Structure 1
Amino acid sequence: METLRKLEILADAAKYDASCASSGAGKRDSKKSGGIGSTEGAGICHSYTPDGRCVSLLKILLTNFCIYDCAYCVNRVSSNVPRARFRVAEVVALTLDFYKRNYIEGLFLSSGIIRSADYTMEHMVEVARQLREEHRYAGYIHLKTIPEASPELLAAAGRYADRLSINVELPTEAGLAAFAPEKTMPTIRGAMGELRWRIEESREERARPARVAAPDRSAQKRAPRFAPAGQSTQMIVGADGASDRDILTTSDQLYGNYHMRRVYYSAFSPIPDASKALPLQPPPLQREHRLYQADWLLRFYGYGIEEITDTTQDGMLDLDIDPKMAWALRHPEQFPVDLNLAPKELLLRVPGLGVRNVKRVLMARRHGRLRVADVARLRAPMRKLLPFVQLLDHHPHRRLDDPASLRASLAPPPRQGSLFGESLAS
């Protein structure tokens, strides 16, 4: 099969994986190493998918052949789709060629399982090894690791890749057993724990020489890096009956127990030759967006799971308004917040105030009491903000006494297909 036809099949098969961001990679520059590629600097040509996601990686599968039969996967063994497989040399050549043409900033490589987990993982690691050692490639590499692979192969993957990811797939063990019978939650969590241990050990070892005095600093060799951009994972939303509370509870555990850099949420979408076990209709895309907003509240705003999902809607997030606004409307007794006196923790609870603007408010009020005009200069969404705050020249009076009416005035009009009209950090 021609390489271009393989690329068409295997790039299309990889589109369902959302956990491919390149944030957090260490800085490397080919000008210093004498090789090729970089994880910094300008000159990267980005493209965008129809739903607004930025794509700047060569995102492909090594193969879409697979011996597993996960119901939600287009590449499962029982799926009737065209199959293709790259050789290691083809992936290496494509990555280098695309980078030289300024199409990409790095490689995201995943794969179906062929023969065995170890056999597949060996080929993926060999792609990364050849790029790093034989071509001195300094660009970004993200490998989707296979939890059933041996610890030695996971260790080798981390030596060459900037980021590793293992998809947890579904938030509950029952859902995984029903839709992905060959996969088990203990195996997935065990591999995540292995990666966390190796990442932390590498960081500690690399930091140690800087604190040790030595006559000849140049003689000291730093420990090899291991996946410096950490690990990430992905959950499918809407394929099983898990609620948003179930999904966010699993995410919270992954962040706490495995120091996950990101949990990605991928709304289930109908796939060719779909399994009868799957729902006929996909979930609203707005549900995926609300989960990302709730994830942001967990990580950066100090919210707990019980606060975000404190509703009577069976653990589901409100699709009409963002979860931060929903919490504020359920707790009018917490407002209005005096922007001139409130501590940082309370300011972060104000709808319309993101982390950056909270810092600006704290800095600005050192020099005087804030008025409406001062806050407007922060370019904060005043329509969303003003009903919940008190300023020197503003008080929301009795608007908070009628949360239903306030909600109706603040809820955005329904829009078709738009996920990115509201900021994650507001």
Structure 2
Amino acid sequence: MSERIREKLAILADAAKYDISCSSSGSTRKNDNKGLGDTGNGICHTYTEDGRCVSLLKILLTNFCIYDCAYCVTRKSNDIRRAAFTVQEVVDLTINFYRRNYIEGLFLSSGIFKNADYTMERLVSVAKKLRTEHKFNGYIHLKSIPGASDELMHEAGLYADRLSVNIELPTEAGLKLLAPDKDRKDMISPMTYLNNEILAKAEEKKVLRHAPLFAPAGQSTQMIIGATGESDKEIMYTAHRFYKAFNLKRVYYSGYVPVSQDRRLPGMGSAVPALRENRLYQTDWLMRFYGFHVEELLNDQDPHLDLEIDPKLSWAIRNLHHFPVDINTADLRLVLRVPGIGMQSAQKIVAARKFQKLNWENLRSIGVAINRAKYFIICKRSEYVHRDLTGTRIRQYILAESQSKFLKSSYTQLNLF
């Protein structure tokens, strides 16, 4: 690798770290032509400490940009080192890194130079060369450029496993404040097109077995949180609308990282706590997999997530009239709402109780967090001794026990040295 390519890679990989929507789940592209890679078995997820996926070669095509979004490190007014890859350079990097087993696929985004179509055409060219010239069957995620033509979006869907269009900020008002040159309609249009095409191709695939794949891992989006003053309620209501309207696979929540002294932004010391990101992801998970409606978790009375406790526990404490749940008779929907019981544990409970009445030891062996669940369930009615506890007291007990475990763990680790 030449020194110039190394320099470009350092600049454009660093610039790409602010884009976190790079999960590679959901694709089933198979290698049946003696090519390279296979998304069925070739993708493994490696996550950084803050949850970001690092299993893909994650770079920008360029960090030149015609826009001046206040929250973006690559905005045109920012005094930073600029670089741009050629299409062939990205192709070569991807193939060489894949052969060395450094990566399992490519996540490619870009600043916008000249215009949306000019940039999108080059992103598509990378994917097309990898697929057609190198028979590359690894995972490819392309960032769709807002405002790009439907023709380019269609071609992108034929070569990429996943496509994503960042809506950037939770509300249109926030976008107008911090990125006045951008229009939310330019983001909605490609998402609408992709959704319609994905649904149409899925129907075509049912009739024609050899119909071409079209974005088999679907589409996703990302929003920056904390750069503007939206509440957690506004953020999650936006996510809910986008999930429903565009059948998104994921919405990613990227905490604002101070990159500018712009007076419209929070101060340089006002980075969003990682815990707030985590709470938003937990809420998102409850909505998508646990049967919660967004209004149950966030509403006018509770517009912000509790940073001390997770959103399921917070909901349970506010809704004690739903409890206790009889673990031996309640349906799966209710079992899933019990704090301390995850998806797999709930399914195991429903399966196991067909053969015997479950007790506390059974639940512990299944993997239930008894220290939380005990306040909300019964195995035998005579065993439920916390019926008279208020939500405030339950919260205090759980937090105290968590703190005690943390201190005990810290003490143990200190003694290891």
Per the normalisation by structure 1, the TM-score is: 0.90
Aligned counterparts of 2:49 and 2:290: Cα–Cα separation in 1? 30
1:299 lines up with 2:288 in the alignment:
yes
Q: Say yes or no: does 1:18 pair with 2:5.
A: no
Residue 243, structure 1, aligned to residue 231, structure 2: yes
Call closer, same or farther: CA 1:396–1:301 in 2, change over 3 Å: same
Aligned-partner residue type, residue 347 of structure 2: K
Deviations 1:177-208 (A, max 9, x none): 11111222222112111000011111111111
The corresponding residue for 1:421 is none
Q: C-alpha separation between the residues in 2 aligned to 1:14 and 1:24?
A: 22
Deviation at 1:397, TM superposition (A): 2.1
- Aligned residue runs from structure 1 range 326-365, under 5 A: 326-365=314-353
Q: CA deviation at 1:49?
A: 2.7
Partner of 1:98: 97
Give, in angstroms, the shift of residue 413 of structure 1.
3.4
Q: How far off is 1:41 after superposition?
A: 3.0
Q: Distance in 2 between matches of 1:178 and 1:91?
A: 34
- Residue 175 of structure 1: aligned partner: 174
Distance apart, 1:50 and its partner CA: 3.9
> What amino acid maps onto 2:264 in structure 1?
A
Superposition deviation, residue 395 in structure 1? 3.2
Match 1:284 to one of 260, 269, 273: 273
For residues 287 and 101 of structure 1, do their structure 2 counterparts lie closer, same or farther at Cα, with a shift above 3 Å needed? Answer: same
SS in 1 for 2:357: coil
- Give the whole-Å Cα distance in 1 for the aligned partners of 2:179 and 2:52: 27
Work out the CA distance in 1 between the residues paired with 2:130 and 2:84: 19
C-alpha contact (below 8 Å) 1:177/1:183 kept by paired residues: yes
**Structure 2 counterpart SS, 1:83:** coil
Amino acid at match of 1:341: T
Q: Structure 1 residues 334, 7: CA separation in 2 closer, same or farther (over 3 Å shift)?
A: same
Letter in 1 for 2:204: E
Amino acid at match of 1:337: V
Backbone CA RMSD of aligned residues: 1.8
1: CA distance, partners of 2:47 / 2:291: 32
Of 2, 5, 9, which residue of structure 2 is paired with 1:3? 5
* Aligned partner (choices 363, 379, 382) of residue 391 of structure 1: 379
Quick one: distance in 2 between partners of 1:392 and 1:160?
56
Q: CA deviation at 1:409?
A: 1.3
Distance 1:240 1:71 in 2: 11
How far, CA to CA, are the matches of 2:275 and 2:109 in structure 1? 27
CA contact (8 A) 1:371 1:393 kept: no
Matched position secondary structure for 1:387 = coil
Contact 1:352 1:382 in 2 (8 A): yes
1:28 and 1:68 mapped to 2: Cα distance? 38
Alignment of 1:254-269 (within 5 A): 254-269=242-257
Q: Secondary structure at the match of 1:380?
A: coil
1:217 corresponding residue in structure 2: none
Q: In structure 2, do the counterparts of structure 1 residues 27 and 174 end up closer, same or farther at CA, with 3 Å as the change threshold?
A: same
Q: Counterparts of 1:362 and 1:194 in 2: how far apart (Å)? A: 41
The whole-number CA distance in structure 1 between the counterparts of 2:195 and 2:189 is 10
How far the C-alpha of 1:387 sits from its partner, in A, is 1.1
**In 1, are the aligned partners of 2:147 and 2:189 still within 8 Å (CA)?**
no
Q: Percent identity?
A: 50
Give, in whole Å, the separation in 1 of the partners of 2:385 and 2:300: 26
> CA, structure 1 residues 394+265, in 2 after alignment: closer, same or farther (shift >3 Å)?
farther
1:48 is displaced (CA, Å) by 4.3
Hey, what's the Cα distance between the residues in 2 that align with 1:381 and 1:97?
Answer: 45
Q: Could you tell which deviates more after superposition, 65-74 or 356-365?
A: 356-365
Please show how residues 106-255 of structure 1 align to structure 2 within 5 Å: 106-209=105-208, 222-255=210-243
How far is 1:346 from its partner? 1.1
Larger relative CO (CA 8 A, sep 6+): 1 or 2? Answer: 1
Letter in 2 for 1:278: L
Runs of 4+ that moved beyond 6 A: none
Classify 1:138/1:277 alpha carbon distance in 2 versus 1 (closer, same or farther; 3 Å): same
Gaps of 5+ in 2: 407-417
Report if the CA contact (8 A) 1:332-1:401 is conserved: no
Is 2:399 the partner of 1:413? no
Residues 60 and 109 of structure 1 are in contact (CA less than 8 Å); yes or no, is this contact kept in structure 2? yes
Structure 1: gaps of 5 or more residues: 211-221, 416-426
> How far 1:316 sits from its partner (Å)?
0.7
Task: Check 1:176–1:326 CA distance in 2 against 1; reply closer, same or farther (3 A cut).
Answer: same
